[in-house]
Amino acid sequence: MQKYDHIPRATIQRLATYMQVLETMKKDNIKITSSEPLATACDVNASQVRKDLAYFGEFGVRGVGYYVDYLLDAIKDCLHANREWRTALIGVGNLGRALLNHQEFNRRGIRIVGAFDCDPFKIGEVAYGLEIFCSKRLQEKVPELGIELGIITTPPERAQRAADQLIEAGVKGILNFSSARIVTPNHVYIEYVDFFHQIYSLTFNISTKN
């Protein structure tokens, strides 16, 4: 379905937001929509929505708009969100446990099938139905469990080691919740979740407007 080799990162992020908005519309039994509500959700104009979708094809019907079910399924196809992604979580502290118990992961096809830690007091414990394995067993467990993605929730000083272990085991996509910046080879994709970035954006905007 993808029409171009390079898709801007911002477009991918907006597509994920469009998907969330369309899911809400579907729950509300809305059958047809336009680019305007999708644009409003992402604080962009309607032409940007049409441009984002045009990277993947033509989805609207002239004079009608977008059929919600069809567009939702199409965006899921674009983002490869219509399948299960088996995932390892590294670092079973407070944040890691919260993510293990977060039902939205399963609902969205992100299935955490392996939990790993280097703390000997945690190894062997069962957390939300998963036995916690030693991180050194990643190379064994990644192929055994069919793991494709890794989530890092370790302290910052252990994040690079966790990433290295995931990469050595063959994982090519990593979501990093630690504050550390991680070095990875070109064939491994990494995304960062840093709550402080959003908080500082809020404090800046509030202070500037005041």
Q: Is 57 annotated as a binding residue?
A: no
Q: Is 130 annotated as a binding residue?
A: no
Q: Is 94 annotated as a binding residue?
A: yes
CA-to-CA dists, residue 160 to 56, 88, 94, 176, angstroms: 35, 15, 19, 10
Place of tokens 């977060």: 102
Cα 184 to Cα 189: distance, rounded to the nearest angstrom: 8
Distance from the Cα of residue 102 to its chain's centroid: 13
Q: Which residues contact 145 (CB under 8 A, 6 or more apart)?
A: 86, 88, 113, 114
| Residue 112: Cβ-neighbour burial (10 angstroms; 0-12, 13-18, 19+) | buried
Task: Give the helix ranges, DSSP H, for the chain.
Answer: 9-27, 35-42, 46-54, 68-79, 94-100, 103-107, 138-145, 156-168, 195-209
From the annotation, which residues make up the binding site?
91-96
From the annotation, which residues make up the binding site for NAD(+)?
91-96
